[in-house]
Amino acid sequence: MAVEMFFGHRVPKTSENNVGWERVELTDIDTKKPVLLCFGGNNTVIDRYANFMAKTAERLLNLTPEDNYLDIYSISYNHDENTDIAKMPSLDIKTINKHLFLPLVVRQGERISTNQAIKNMRNVNLFSFSYGSKFVYNLIDDLSKTMDIYGYSQEETQKILGQIFHLAYAPKNVSKLPTTFALKTFKDNFFGRFYEAEYRKLTHKTKDEPCDLKCGELVIKDNTLNLYADKINDRRFFKDRDESYDDEYRNMDDEILPDHDIRSFLLEPDWSQNNYRAEVFSRCGAYALGFAVCNSKINYDKDIFEPLYTPETMKDVIESMELRGANENSRETHTL
């Protein structure tokens, strides 16, 4: 039996709702004001996991459910209840686009001006993990094809969809249309070989050259800024934080598994991690997402349009951040 997809959001806890989560109808999600849409990994098929993805976004932005200047929604995917593997069939893709994206570029069955569409699309910010990026890829691909039907040129579509910001942690696929900040580590047991090969190709490094990236290295590809690192975590990081971590996973390679866990990205309330490399990734992602959300609010409040920063500008911003030193024992700051 197929279980249908749904979106939900975190709400203040009450005696009636001690979980602080509720489902929402797609028609109740207003993308004509700043929003953040979260797409978890392929096990995000229950309320709990969708809630956790939204919680991770809140932690990155230092928000709580009581804050109301940004609406954050998280998806639970369509799936077969016997397998619990997420799916996004074409009907779900078209339904999401119909209610969340097309109203920003189409009015009364007709395309709107390119400039207005660009400004409208700046409301949209995306946060994905793992296979969530593949579902975002499929959504954007379908949206761009639909915009072509409504008369937008390829150049216009690129300008409009370039105003979507996408923060992607451990992504499977990244669409080159939105402006994306992607975080990738070589020790990711799902996609690690791909990330290292991708990094070497973009930086023209041979297989014989070492890739000791320490905190990380920023590389631009298309409309995406990638932050690469050799690894960011080890098993001790999770064992200290969460004793319920799956025993089966504890028997796997200490250096591999945790780099593909959304908890790698979960900052503490005081914006700290107990692992400096994980903190580098979290802080860089938080700053990038924070700049995008702030830009959405500026454009929502003002008539004069302020474009989303480009990957080149984003690179300058992230590189200017003072972060911890190049080894785990160092307390000195340095530029990434």
Q: Could you tell me the pTM of the whole model?
A: 0.88
Q: How far is CA 116 from the centre of its chain?
A: 25
In this prediction, residues 314-334 reach a mean pLDDT of: 58
State percent of the chain over pLDDT 70: 85
Instruction: State the pLDDT at residue 226.
Output: 95
Tokens of 13: 């806890």
- The residues facing 175 across adjacent strands are none
When mean pLDDT is compared across 9-18, 92-101, 308-317, the lowest value belongs to 9-18
Which pLDDT band, with edges at 50, 70 and 90, does 322 fall under? Answer: low
DSSP per-residue letters across 175-200: -SSSEEEEEEETT-TTTHHHHHHHHH
Residues forming beta bridges with residue 21, ordered by sequence position: 10
Do 134 and 143 meet the contact criterion of CB atoms below 8 Å apart?
A: no
For 90-136, the pLDDT digits (tens) are: 888 999 999 999 999 999 999 999 999 999 999 999 999 999 999 99
Listed in order, strand segments (DSSP E) in the chain are 2-3, 6-10, 21-24, 35-39, 71-76, 78-80, 86-87, 106-107, 110-111, 124-129, 165-169, 179-185, 217-221, 224-229, 322-324, 333-335
Mean pLDDT for all residues in the chain: 84
Contact 76, 47 (CB under 8 A): yes
In the block, which residue shows the tokens 């993805």?
Answer: 53
Q: What's the CA gap between 282 and 274, in Å, rounded?
A: 12
Q: Using one digit for the tens of pLDDT, what is the confidence trace for 228-264?
A: 988 887 655 444 444 443 444 444 444 444 688 887 7
Q: Which residue has the higher pLDDT, 89 or 133?
A: 133
Rounded mean pLDDT, 56-67: 85
Rounded CA Rg of the chain: 20
Strand order in the sheet with 2-3: 2-3, 78-80, 86-87
Which residues, in sequence order, are CB contacts of 292 under 8 Å at separation 6+? 125, 165, 167, 179, 308
Q: What is the pLDDT of residue 5?
A: 83
pLDDT number for residue 121: 97
Please name which of 93, 112, 121 lies closest in space to residue 32, comparing C-alpha atoms: 121
277: pLDDT confidence band, cut at 50, 70 and 90? confident
Residue 272 pLDDT: 60
What integer pLDDT is reported at residue 207 of this predicted model? 87
Own/partner contacts of 2-6, CB < 8 Å, gap of 24 or more, are 2/78, 2/79, 2/80, 2/81, 3/45, 3/78, 3/79, 3/80, 3/81, 4/78, 5/75, 5/76, 5/77, 5/78, 5/88, 5/92, 6/75, 6/76
Q: In residues, how long is the chain?
A: 336
pLDDT at 268: 66
- What does the pLDDT average to over 49-60? 92
E strands in 53-135 = 71-76, 78-80, 86-87, 106-107, 110-111, 124-129
Amino acid residing at 172: K
Q: What is the pLDDT of residue 267?
A: 64
**Range of weakest confidence among 41-45, 57-61, 124-128, 329-333:** 329-333
> Which structural domain range is residue 294 located in?
2-335
Q: Are the C-beta atoms of 229 and 258 separated by less than 8 Å?
A: no
Residues 137-175: tens digit of each pLDDT: 999 999 999 999 999 999 999 999 999 999 999 999 999
Domain total of the chain:
1
> Rounded to whole angstroms, how far apart are CA atoms 151 and 163?
19
